[in-house]
Amino acid sequence: MRAVLQRVHQASVSVQGCVTGAIGRGLLVFLGIAADDTEQDMLYLTSKIAGLRAFEDQSGKMNLCLQDVAGSVLVVSQFTLYGDCRKGRRPSFADAARPEQARFWYERFVGRLRSEGLAVHTGSFREMMDVNLANDGPVTFLLDSRRLF
């Protein structure tokens, strides 16, 4: 699993003009799922996101996690995180999970974050979405359950 995390002042996602998920302060998480992802991949990422000290304390240091700042999470599925652009000009998505498998892990991922006590909102799986955000910082992190980066 891969995730791009953006610390935001606010973020929302809409489908055909209708908002399906919106948060104030928190993390916008773009989530990509690989064909060979397992429970361990999901647990690694959810644990990392729930405990990530991405928010500044009174000294200006990133020492606070989502729960410390009463932040929320907006999770948006994004299979293009597994787009391989190394050859040619058209990305290959051979490593991305098939839609049925991806939906399973996406729902487990969201459920696990909620079980951590986080307020979690979502986009719409397999839909074309418009994502709006006000990036805080900007602060952006890349996570990979295989620790490739």
| Residues annotated as part of the active site | 78-80
Contacts of 79 (CB under 8 A, 6+ apart): 32, 33, 93, 96, 97, 102
- Per the listing, tokens 């900007």 go with 138
The rounded distance, in Å, linking the Cα atoms of 25 and 147 is 27
Strand partners, 6: 28, 140
Strand partners, 96: 34
Return the SS3 of 127.
coil
Q: What secondary structure letter does DSSP report for 25?
A: S
